[in-house]
Structure 1
């Protein structure tokens, strides 16, 4: 093991230990003392934690790997319109949904999204709650598995360590702080992880520009590629020519923003803020962070290609290879001495943070759907507070084990399943959430029909 590798591993280990300690701290602060605390943090999140937790859990590794990789390989058209759609969707979700959902859920005492649906439509048999919980399980368990897989793949590709061992260690850390501190721990770690992600984005783009020879060379390289900086074209790396990117493609990529209205782990943040009057502050923080972070992520892809042109990193000619551009730049950074190796470790911890911040939120949302919405509401198993918390923690562990099992094969198709999750939640929950909040005449039958039809499509 080289000195730079040791520094990187040491930095990542410190990060992982810190996340567990946050879980211990939140547990002592009462984060796991009751179902209300465990699932929703007692509705006492501040505006900054609410904003950054929502966006960190939303972006996942797509921010630090997907966006830069797509920009690196294909230019700004697809990735640019996708980012614009996500930014608009983020803002509208905070503007339209957040305040009404916070007020309504607090009024009826709902602490989960399926529970909100059931109580909003007076579903005494909790059929609607059951359907919503099943939808969450179908989409979130593979999503969680993809997070675990990303952790194992990252360590395996960087250090050659065993994929399964690395995945299990990462999963244990996520399970640890989630089980200990519940929603409060998840939200607090998400805030910390968002800060690390921000640092990683800023430092890598600045380092990349320096390694490419300056901004002028970065711009010159991008301008020399046909369609690379054109929002109505695209760049085909295989042929070196411009490709078409028409109105239909633009509309379909912009539509990604519509999925936000149905994302359970994001909607839960709206429900958890301490005062709905503070949602305006959260909205501003969240929107600004999303816009800036996605802009830098796209810029990293453009800069990374210029670094390749300068001969500092190899050409990454496939989508899976191009998604490692930040890893390639981090490896280059680590070769400049111990200090920069430690910084590279923090950057790579940012990639890990982007994965964990999503996995923990999805794990908790899926667990609450089983232990609260299915076991207690639908099947009518009345549990005392102690038994309820045991069920909650046991469900977190159980779902995590299923996720590990799904991700056990490093060549599994988990990511293909995940590609449907965003659209699935958007179509199954999005319209129901909007109608539940804005149209009084919406009834249980309509909600069930919309949820089933949307999820099936």
Structure 2
């Protein structure tokens, strides 16, 4: 590949653009509140697209199309679960959480919210929830770095170790410099790039095959089971795929976008934008894989790479169907998906280190400038830890990523929802729910994975029971906690939220 190929140039322009946005965000970052939550200033569009981009990693352009290419529409159940879960999160969690975190001593992080919401003077909630965030997100970040490295390794033909640093460097730079505003603004650009790629690519695939009817006919001719939603499916399998949607209410990097919105009313319009973006992206990604079956059936001479690795279907179609300059832009969407998720995970880890450990235990009276720089150093520290974990892409620790989503969903999800909607929730109930949720997910994965049931399902059920039972058995919440709950509920009813 030429040193100045279109692919090199488009990737370079994209990365420099993201760093430029980081430098612009530096100018607006004047306090720790700015660095962690952007001063709670995000409008509807940025909130919506940032939440979407931070949610959808490289899986959207690699894993999901690859699954549809391999197994047909039976893999669509996971998308249905994700759409339902995301809508519930936007509709029933976003606005209450935005309002409650502001009323709970202007909580900047999820552990900070739990601490103030449940009057946790012993700070066990803060410590445990921050540790859950650091452990799971360190592995998540390592996974993102591996995905970026594989992209650079595949596209540019460079060694894995070199590709790993190239893939991580730009994300670390703009997150380090600009904090939450840089991450949110770049997420908006990246979300736009992702939806452009996922609408344009399947349209061109279908046109190259002669139209939708002709494309469907070829897919059916290859294997009629490709059109069967229940192909090889069991009840447990379908429930497990749908259950991915349960995880949304416990993901710190997505909840942080709700907390950063300008106000609770902003989130109504953001929900419409965010859900439209998500539905179009998911259906576009599925269409790439599904109609890719037909394309490579008609062009078997070009099918070698996707036969070896079905997750390359988007990469191969973009390269084959488009001018190299357009292909470079489309392939940048994969990098955008990886970078958007990695950057917000780095920032959530940074906020846990800075707000929940450094300020919470070491320097309670630390100044704003000091906290911003500690936050930046934490970004760098977590990134280096993730790079170290990613240096061996076959390491068993990266296998934890398969249930990190479930870990967050079970440990935090029930506690978040009940804290917003059940006045009787107590501090001990919340702690029990977090511990039971996290332990159940890990134990189920290690001991009962042969059942085929996704560990999210028992994790969420048992965590919810733990919160309710322990809260009922203990002392009721204090009058101040009940008063704040009633006040927030009253505000939400007044604003029609």
Query: Could you list the per-position Cα deviations for residues 293-345 of structure 1 after superposition, in whole angstroms to 9, with x for gaps in the alignment?
Result: 11111111011111111116315677x811110111122135xxxxx111100
Comparing 305-314 and 378-387, the one that deviates more: 378-387
Instruction: Supply the distance in 2 between the matched residues of 1:349 and 1:415 (Cα, whole angstroms).
Output: 24
Tell me if 1:161 matches 2:158. yes
- RMSD over aligned CA atoms reads 1.6
The answer to which structure, 1 or 2, has the higher relative contact order (CA under 8 A, 6+ apart) is 1
Q: How does 1:333-412 map to 2 (within 5 A)?
A: 333=321, 340-379=323-362, 381-412=364-395
Higher helix fraction (1 or 2):
2
Q: Tell me, yes or no, if the aligned pair for 1:178 and 1:186 is still in contact at 8 Å.
A: yes
Structure 1 residue runs without a partner (length 5+) = 234-243, 335-339
Q: Residue 110 of structure 1 corresponds to which residue in structure 2?
A: 107
From 58, 72, 76, the counterpart of 2:73: 76
Aligned ranges for residues 126-137 of structure 1 at < 5 Å?
126-137=123-134
Alignment correspondent of 1:46:
43
Question: Contact 1:217/1:306 (CA < 8 Å) preserved in 2?
Answer: no
Please name the residue that 1:10 is paired with.
9
Trace 1:395-434 onto structure 2 (pairs within 5 A): 395-413=378-396, 415-434=398-417
CA distance in 2, matches of 1:199, 1:412: 34
Q: Secondary structure at the match of 2:225?
A: coil
Q: Deviations over 1:154-197 (max 9, x none)?
A: 11112211322222123221111111111111001000000111
User: Residue 232 of structure 1 is aligned with which of 230, 233, 236?
Assistant: 230
8 A contact 2:22–2:178 mirrored in 1: yes
In the alignment, the residues of structure 2 paired with residue 405 and residue 213 of structure 1 have an alpha-carbon distance, to the nearest angstrom, of: 48
- The runs of 5 or more residues in structure 2 that have no matched partner are 441-497
Per the alignment, do residues 301 and 415 of structure 1 end up closer, same or farther by CA in structure 2, a change over 3 Å counting? farther
Q: Which digits, 9 at most, give the CA deviation of each residue in 1:32-75, with x for residues without a partner? A: x2110100000000001000100110011111111100000011
1:85 lines up with 2:81 in the alignment: yes
8 Å Cα contact 1:125/1:378 also seen in 2:
no
Corresponding residue for 1:278? Answer: 266
Which stretch shows the higher mean deviation, 161-170 or 436-445?
161-170
Query: Deviation per CA, 1:115-156, whole angstroms, max 9, x where unpaired?
Result: 001110011232101100000011111111111111111111
Cα distance, 1:18 vs. partner? 0.2
1:14 shift after superposition: 0.2
Give the equivalent residue in structure 1 for 2:277: 289
Aligned residue for 1:245?
A: 233
Q: CA deviation at 1:380?
A: 5.3
How far has the Cα of 1:204 moved from its partner? Answer: 1.4
What SS is found at the alignment partner of 2:227?
A: coil
Aligned pairs, how many? 437
CA distance in 2, matches of 1:84, 1:175: 33
Shift in Å at residue 248 of structure 1? 2.2
- 2:122 is paired with a residue of what secondary structure? coil
Counterpart CA distance in 1 for 2:340 and 2:64 is 17
How far has the Cα of 1:413 moved from its partner? 4.2
Name 1:325's counterpart in structure 2. 313
Alpha-carbon distance in 2 for matches of 1:260, 1:140: 15
Q: 2:303 aligns with which of 314, 319, 330?
A: 314
> Where does residue 139 of structure 2 map in the other structure?
142
